[in-house]
Structures are given as C-alpha cells and as structure tokens.
Chain A
Amino acid sequence: AQSVSQHNHHVILSEAASLELGCNYSYGGTVNLFWYVQYPGQHLQLLLKYFSGDPLVKGIKGFEAEFIKSKFSFNLRKPSVQWSDTAEYFCAVIVFSGNTPLVFGKGTRLSVIA
C-alpha cells in the first residue's frame, strides 16, 4: 500500500528562521503531491500542489516545495518563518491507478516562537 512519511512530528523555530519539512512517499508511478496546512482550531487548507512541470512549486504565504522524483520526496520550505505560520502541516499524495483517495502523512506540528 502507498504511504507518506513525514519525518518530523514537532518542529520548534524562532521567527525568521528557515524551515524545511520532509515528506517522502512510497509509490513509484505517477503521483500528484500536496501540502496542506491546518491552523489551530481550523480545517485543512491547501498550501501548494505539484502535478507536473517545474519541480519547484510556489504556494501561498511564501511557501515552496521541491519534487525530487529520484528521492520520492516533496519537501516543504520557507526561507523565513513568522509566528503566524504556527500550524500543523500535512503532506499528501494521490496515485493515479484507478480511483484512489488521497494518502496523507501524519502531519508535522510547527511552533514558531517570537
């Protein structure tokens, strides 16, 4: 079965620090990749997505992610985090081999301290 691994459960950063959250998936075929963000007390919102083309994808709020096919990775980055980036971040993959639901990682909680 396909799986998505997020290596960090909880990351604590100071404001202005750089962020990189790891995401690896276990399927070798064609995939679409997503990062979702969940702010405290809210529902999941789409941060960015990769379907094809330039493997460096830019999303909202200064986030970007790089798809490295050879490493089965889709890491999320932000050069300088803000306190308002405190949230939980979920990586997700959809595999195009029939009607399959999105597979989510278990999430990484980011705490940004002033």
Chain B
Amino acid sequence: IAGITQAPTSQILAAGRRMTLRCTQDMRHNAMYWYRQDLGLGLRLIHYSNTAGTTGKGEVPDGYSVSRANTDDFPLTLASAVPSQTSVYFCASSDSQGTQYFGPGTRLLVL
C-alpha cells in the first residue's frame, strides 16, 4: 500500500508558467488537502475537499485551483506561477476521525 503519492518530487518553474502538482491516495479517504510549508510559517492550508466533487478554500487559496473528479486524485494547479509560490507542497488525506496522512511533498522553485 503506497498511501499518498505526489508528483513531481521537485520542480523548477519559470514565472508565468502553468503547473499541476499531482496527488493520489489509495486509502479511499473522502477528505483530501493541500498545504504549503514555508520556513517560519508552518503549514498553511491551500484548498481541501471533503468528498469527490466538492472543494473548499483554505487559508491561502489565491493563485491555486483544485479539482476532485474522483476519490483518489486531488491535483493542485498553479495557473500562472509567481516566485512567492516557491515552497514545499504537501498533499494529505484524512480518515473519518480526522487523522491526516501526508504525502512525501513536492519542492517547487519558481524563478
């Protein structure tokens, strides 16, 4: 069982380019999340989805969009990347009691 996988592991991106970070889980969890982690700021929630077909905005949603076409996949898209989106991005899913399980992360550098 892989748990949560994320791709790519790391990426260098030119500003203005579009980028989709992929996240897939095999635990059949309804809820999934995207966070960004920046030094001194901890984890900040970008978007979340409580179940397939629904999404919600987190603390820092601007510049990001998500979709949840099915239970397993929750991609995060940066429509036009900016340097302030340089960060480490973590995808997570949670079970019915709220315990979250995290993916290995994607390190993104926007130049």
Contact = CB atoms under 8 A, between A and B. Distances in A.
Contacts of A34: 98-100
Contact of B102 (A43, A49, A96, A99): A43
Interface string A80-93: 00000000001010
B94 interface: yes
Main secondary structure of the interface of B (DSSP, over half): strand
A35 B105 CA distance: 19
Report the contact-size class of chain A (Cβ under 8 Å from the partner). 20 to 34
B90 A106 contact: no
B33 A101 contact: yes
A84 to B, nearest CB: 20
A40 B102 CA distance: 15
Contacts of A90: 42-43
Interface of B: 31, 33, 40-43, 45, 48, 50, 58, 90, 92, 94, 97-105
